[in-house]
Amino acid sequence: MTVKNQFEDAKKEYERWGINVEEVFDKLKNVPISVHCWQGDDVGGFETNKESLSGGIDVTGNYPGKATTPEELRQDIEKALSLIPGQHRVNLHAIYAETDGEVVERDQLEPKHFEKWVAWAKQHGLGLDFNPTLFSHKKSEDGLTLSHPDPQIRQFWIDHCIASRRIGEYFGRELGTPCLTNIWIPDGYKDVPSDRLTPRKRLKESLDEIFAAKVDEQLNIDAVESKLFGIGSEAFVVGSHEFYMNYASRNNKLCLLDTGHYHPTEMVSNKISAMLLFNEKLALHVSRPVRWDSDHVVTFDDELKEIALEIVRNNALDQVMIGLDFFDASINRVAAWTIGTRNMIKALLYGMLMPNEQLKELQEKGDFTRRLALIEEFKTYPFGAIWNYYCEVMDVPVKEQWLEDIEDYEKTVLTGRSEAIDSAV
């Protein structure tokens, strides 16, 4: 049976529940996922005076073929995007600036340092998102940035964040789609603090200064990302969830929820509806924590499906800006992007193929037996046949066929890269 025949049979089963699969495809095609560039080079970046990764995050593994230049990184992203159905966005960090070998301090970064990224994004019809980088730097060596007691260090990071918002504005203007510029800082303490209020007060003041700089809100959307703990900030993180949730709502900024930044049994899927009632928009970093904020590649697991369901059944596709955030250097990095991004899209499709209206009614009526029964039965509906056909009509490889492309790419492109490094040593 062809992919199409399997699809036709499967479609009938969903149609019995009033689910219009073609309409679902049209909807899904228009959902952009913001694909993080940093999976491609282990959050390295291309700074001339590059420091090693710090800020309480870590990448493990040394799979060969890592991108070491912007050209290689773009080539790898292109490869991954060619295997992912739909039109998406790319999420950059300030450390991915291209300064032609010149040392440009982060507070001095300008739109011109991202011209090549913009030209590339235009060429491929991609939107760009952005992040100031407040880690992997001498001025964040002690794990403090915007909440630092030293006003000069604070100012440096404030200026970097303002410069970043202007770069975001430039992306928005050039690409005709607003850029989400997300601020995440590592600030915190390894051990029990003797004062939690003062650093939080300083962070609040720093953010006020950053957002006081005028940037066109039509072109750049500001977000703030909280965290629970990091490596070296196990006891206290200044920018906690409550801190940013309040800050964002008071200041009309977006709250960004990273799925790895909560207690292990605390689920982001359960937060989405609550956030949407009080905010026009919400941003996500979809990741996969394994025992800690480990940033594993996103898999098609229950929580991913639940997140997708919450977005879909609440008609919130226009309100939730979906971004990914994982970095695994123990497997082929292009495959990591492909697996994680395809899973995110697959989960949205899964959510769209549930009889959501009927399930809501059952709950309202108090019929919890049917609610549970249907949710469980739909888990083995022929979802795979619909997904495969979606990939086919979107002109990307069906099922595991994409692996061949990656294996070929590894042989012809990535392996050559590691050899080049080896022979240089």
Residues marked active site are found at 184, 225, 227, 258, 261, 285, 293, 295, 325
Distance CA 276, CA 344 (A): 20
Radius of gyration of the chain (CA): 22
Residue 182 DSSP class: E
Containing H/E element for 90? Answer: strand 89-93
Instruction: Confirm or reject binding of residue 310 to Zn ion (CB under 5 A).
Output: no
Please choose which of Zn ion, ligand RNT, none residue 41 contacts, taking the beta carbon within 5 to 8 angstroms, the exact cut-off set by kind: none
Judged by the rule CB under 6 A, the positions of this chain that interact with ligand RNT are 38, 43, 57, 131, 184, 225, 227, 258, 285, 293, 325
Residues 276-305 that bind Zn ion (CB under 5 A): 285
Min separation Cβ 325 and ligand RNT, Å: 5
Least distance to Zn ion, CB of residue 114, Å: 20
11 vs 241, beta carbon nearer Zn ion: 241
Applying CB under 5 A, among 258, 293, 328, 410 the residue interacting with Zn ion is: 258
Angle at 203 between CA 200 and CA 205, to 5 degrees: 110
Q: What is the DSSP string of 97-109?
A: ---TT----GGG-
Helix boundaries (H) for 223-271: 241-251
Looking at the Cβ atoms of 131 and 338, the one nearer to ligand RNT is: 131
Question: Per CB under 5 A, which of residues 325..344 are in contact with Zn ion?
Answer: 325
157 binds, among Zn ion, ligand RNT, none (CB under 5 to 8 A by kind): none
Q: Closest distance between ligand RNT and the C-beta of residue 239, in Å?
A: 10
11/93 with CB nearer ligand RNT: 93
Closest CA to 91 of 11, 12, 184: 184
Q: Which entry of Zn ion, ligand RNT, none binds 200, CB below 5 to 8 A by partner kind?
A: none
If contact means CB under 5 to 8 A according to the sort of partner, which of ligand RNT, Zn ion, none does residue 349 touch?
Answer: none
In the complex, minimum distance from the CB of residue 138 to ligand RNT, in angstroms, rounded to a whole number: 18
At closest approach, how far in Å is the CB of 43 from ligand RNT? 5
- Residue 131 binding result from Zn ion, ligand RNT, none, given CB thresholds of 5 to 8 Å by partner type: ligand RNT
Separation between Cα atoms, residue 401 and residue 409, nearest integer Å: 13
Residue number, nearest CB to ligand RNT: 184
Among candidates 240, 254, 82, which has minimal Cα distance to 168? 254
Q: Which does 227 bind (CB under 5 to 8 A by kind): ligand RNT, Zn ion, none?
A: ligand RNT
Pair 149, 193: CB distance under 8 Å: no
State the amino acid at position 179 in one-letter form: C
Using CB under 5 A as the binding rule, the residues of this chain from 179 to 208 that contact Zn ion are none
41 binds Zn ion (CB under 5 A): no
Comparison of 43 and 353: residue with beta carbon closer to ligand RNT: 43
DSSP class of residue 410 equals: I
Q: Which is nearer to Zn ion, 325 or 410 (CB)?
A: 325
Q: Tell me the number of residues near Zn ion by CB under 5 A.
A: 3
- C-beta neighbour count of 168 within 10 angstroms: 29
Cβ of residue 21: shortest distance to ligand RNT, in angstroms?
Answer: 35
Of 314, 324, 309, 317, the residue nearest 379 (C-alpha)? 309
**Residues 352, 346: Cα–Cα separation, whole Å:** 10
SS3 219: coil
HEC letters along 279-333: CCCEEEEECEEECEEEEECCCCCHHHHHHHHHHHHCCCCCCEEEEECCCCCCCCH
Residues that bind Zn ion (CB under 5 A): 258, 285, 325
